[in-house]
């Protein structure tokens, strides 16, 4: 399969930059996502205004480094220069467990343990909750496929599991992760969650994930969509040893092979080797872009969803930035394919939305400098 072209910077990318392959991927989509809203290009005029303003601030331009990229991007996605402050950011943390961790030694943890983390998120006691308080971001936990009873978290918040798609997934090296209809339903659920949050005032999203075994389907999807070798995309995940890593490489290899004839249909690909978490995240990424709301991506699981969403809606990528670079090798491969440059590099394999959340104050700082600093001539 031909490789996707790597696009230009988010702000500079226009319709003319889209490849024929990207356009055909969108046109060929005939499932639930086909009739949905599409992303529009971000505002190039306000991006140009922001660049001019940075020159006025720094004297020459480039003096504020990545802050300039981020501030310019925010001006473009908001259609306003200087960009407005972020008022109501929301982190959506999507949870699902994956059967591959039960049948193969691809994780140091067992499916079902994710429920404890989801419970802590629901009670605001998790690590991501602590960071969210520091950076002033609301957190919404969402169970779409945890390996627990559907009512297990109702004592915390019945909304967490109210719309979940299924319990755990199949072992993707030998069977489908889920049914096609479940994949389509997960995409649609992701879109509805975004609509609900935007209608309630959300003006920035951080997307994260939790789930035992989740890096295996994420790596498998990235291998499939980037034509990468299984060895090059497979990392240590939750901390597996050498033997576990070899089992994980084999699982990624076998999953990618099972999906080789599904790469023209993203819903089918998700059904075979993805999961309800990755499908829901794909829907969220597309809907946020369609509703003109920026997104900060977290780790490798979200990045795999972004590759899928990019295939379904090639303009959506302009509305996303990468919050950080994880230590999972597939993450760097996916971000390179998407031409997204991480804000932070914390040498952190952990998912849970933490890296994405830590990028929020950097984005807020870029907005503040661009909006509040006087021109260099006035200093």
Catalytic residues: 352
| Three-class DSSP category at 357 | helix
193: its two tokens: 């969650």
Q: How many CB atoms lie within 10 A of CB 99?
A: 26
CA diameter of the chain: 66
Q: Which of 154, 177, 143, 185 is nearest to 282 (CA)?
A: 185
Q: CA neighbours within 13 Å on the CB side: how many for 175? A: 12
- With tokens 């957190």, the residue in question is 139
Q: Which of 230, 280, 264 is nearest to 106 (CA)?
A: 230
CA dist., res. 42 & res. 153, Å (int): 39
User: Kind and range of the H or E element at 245?
Assistant: helix 242-258
* Structural contact between residues 174 and 272, judged by C-beta atoms closer than 8 angstroms: no
**DSSP for 144-173, written as a single string:** EE-SS-TTTTTTT-TTSSTT---SS---TT
Long-range CB contacts (< 8 A, 24+ apart) of 330-333?
330/215, 330/218, 330/219, 330/222, 330/223, 330/228, 330/233, 330/234, 330/235, 330/300, 330/303, 330/304, 331/299, 331/300, 331/303, 333/222, 333/226, 333/228, 333/232, 333/233
Distances from the Cα of 34 to the Cα of 16, 276, 290, angstroms: 21, 19, 13
Cα 233 to its chain centre, rounded Å, is 17
Local structure of residue 324 (DSSP, 8 states): B
Distances from the Cα of 218 to the Cα of 67, 292, 305, 306, 377, angstroms: 30, 26, 8, 11, 50
């Amino acid at each position: 399969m031909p490789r996707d072209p790597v696009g230009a910077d988010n702000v500079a990318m226009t319709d003319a930059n889209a490849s024929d392959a990207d356009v055909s991927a969108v046109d060929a989509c005939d499932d639930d996502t086909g009739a949905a809203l599409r992303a529009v290009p971000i505002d190039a005029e306000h991006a140009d205004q922001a660049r001019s303003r940075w020159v006025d601030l720094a004297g020459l331009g480039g003096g504020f480094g990545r802050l300039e990229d981020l501030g310019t991007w925010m001006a473009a996605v908001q259609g306003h220069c200087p960009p407005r402050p972020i008022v109501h950011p929301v982190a959506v943390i999507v949870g699902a467990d994956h059967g591959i961790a039960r049948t193969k030694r691809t994780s140091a943890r067992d499916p079902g343990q994710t429920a404890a983390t989801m419970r802590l998120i629901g009670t605001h006691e998790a690590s991501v909750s602590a960071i969210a308080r520091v950076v002033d971001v609301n957190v919404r936990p969402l169970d779409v496929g945890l390996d627990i009873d559907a009512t297990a978290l109702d004592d915390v918040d019945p909304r967490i599991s109210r719309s979940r798609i299924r319990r755990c997934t199949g072992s993707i090296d030998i069977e489908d992760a889920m049914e096609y209809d479940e994949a389509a339903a997960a995409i649609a659920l992701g879109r509805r969650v975004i609509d609900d949050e935007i209608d309630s005032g959300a003006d920035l999203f951080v997307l994260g994930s939790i789930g035992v075994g989740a890096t295996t389907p994420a790596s498998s999807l990235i291998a499939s969509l980037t034509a990468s070798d299984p060895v090059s995309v497979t990392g240590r995940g939750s901390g597996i040893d050498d033997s576990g890593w070899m089992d994980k490489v084999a699982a990624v290899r076998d999953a990618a092979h099972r999906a080789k004839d599904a790469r023209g249909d993203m819903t089918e690909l998700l059904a075979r080797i993805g999961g309800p978490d990755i499908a829901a995240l794909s829907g969220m990424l597309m809907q946020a872009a369609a509703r003109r709301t920026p997104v900060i991506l977290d780790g490798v699981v979200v990045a795999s969803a972004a590759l899928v969403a990019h295939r379904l809606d090639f303009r959506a990528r302009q509305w996303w930035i990468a919050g950080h670079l994880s230590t999972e090798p597939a993450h760097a491969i996916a971000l390179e394919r998407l031409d997204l440059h991480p804000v932070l590099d914390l040498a952190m394999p952990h998912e849970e939305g933490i890296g994405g959340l830590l990028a929020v104050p950097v984005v807020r700082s870029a907005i503040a400098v661009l909006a509040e600093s006087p021109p260099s001539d006035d200093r």
